[in-house]
Chains A and B, each alone.
Chain A
Amino acid sequence: MTPHPSLGEFEQLVLLAVLRLREGAYGMAVRRELQVRARRDVAIGAVYATLDRMQAKGLVRSQERAGGATRESRPRRCFEVTASGRRALRHAHDTVARLTAGLESELGLS
């Protein structure tokens, strides 16, 4: 049994995007970060559904902030990665690193 919550591929991408955006990690910013850096054009609903699932697992937390006129005064829901989320990311990264060790030439990484 693993002590860390397991992360799906999309969950890892969303967590990393939230981590990169720091203070400005709200739904649409996460969506744009995924589009630019991961080259994944995803629906905003998929981003929110994933963030909601990860919040239930304790990997992220959110708080509402006031929105501007372009949002018709609707609030922004800003997310941040929790310590548990960082541990889960580190665990996922270490797992990939262990499995790819020695395969650099086969994967064209060297």
Chain B
Amino acid sequence: MNALERFGLAALAFLAPPETREALIGDLLEERAMRCEEGVKPSAAGAWLLRQCAHSVPPLLLLRARRAGPRRLALASAGALVAAAAMHATQQSGWRWLLSLVPLRADHEPPPVLALVFGLSQCVAALMVALLLLRLTRSGGRT
């Protein structure tokens, strides 16, 4: 199993509720091994595992949000908003600093690819902070 697959499993383990975590990862490992035994190339089995990890993110996120309850969800949303705003402000000041070093117009916009990277990193930062807040503020029971 390569590092990317391990990363995918670790990300899922981070997202999954505690009582489901081990079973979910075990299931993925078991089916990956089963696919290899059936003659599927390890790289193809790995790609299947990564697809499973990626497609499992939305339902697990919804599950976490559903279980969180309104107060924790509001806290996580506020944290996500602050994280995205902080990331945006950091990127903007970084971009202005970069413009000051090179002979470009001061109002020059970042190229589309960089703007996409900026946007994606803001989403990731927001998601990570929201999940961290959900994990750190445990509720008393299921909601």
Contacts and interface: CB of A to CB of B under 8 A. Distances in A.
Interface string B17-47: 1011011111111110110000000000000
Contacts, number: 82
B26 A75 contact: yes
A45 B23 contact: no
Interface string A46-79: 1011101100100000001001101110111100
A18 B136 CA distance: 33
Q: How large is the interface on A (under 10, 10 to 19, 20 to 34, 35 or more residues)?
A: 20 to 34
B54 to A, nearest CB: 8
Contact of A56 (B15, B26, B33, B142): B142
Select the residue from B19, B22, B33 with max chain A CB neighbours within 10 A. B22
B60 A70 contact: no
Contacts of A74: 22-23, 25-26, 29
Contact of B52 (A43, A53, A67, A77): A43
24 contacts: A27-B27, A28-B28, A28-B30, A43-B59, A44-B24, A44-B27, A45-B12, A45-B16, A45-B24, A45-B56, A45-B58, A46-B56, A48-B16, A48-B63, A49-B59, A50-B59, A52-B17, A52-B20, A70-B33, A70-B34, A71-B29, A74-B23, A74-B25, A77-B23
Interface of B: 12, 15-17, 19-20, 22-31, 33-34, 52, 55-60, 62-63, 66, 142
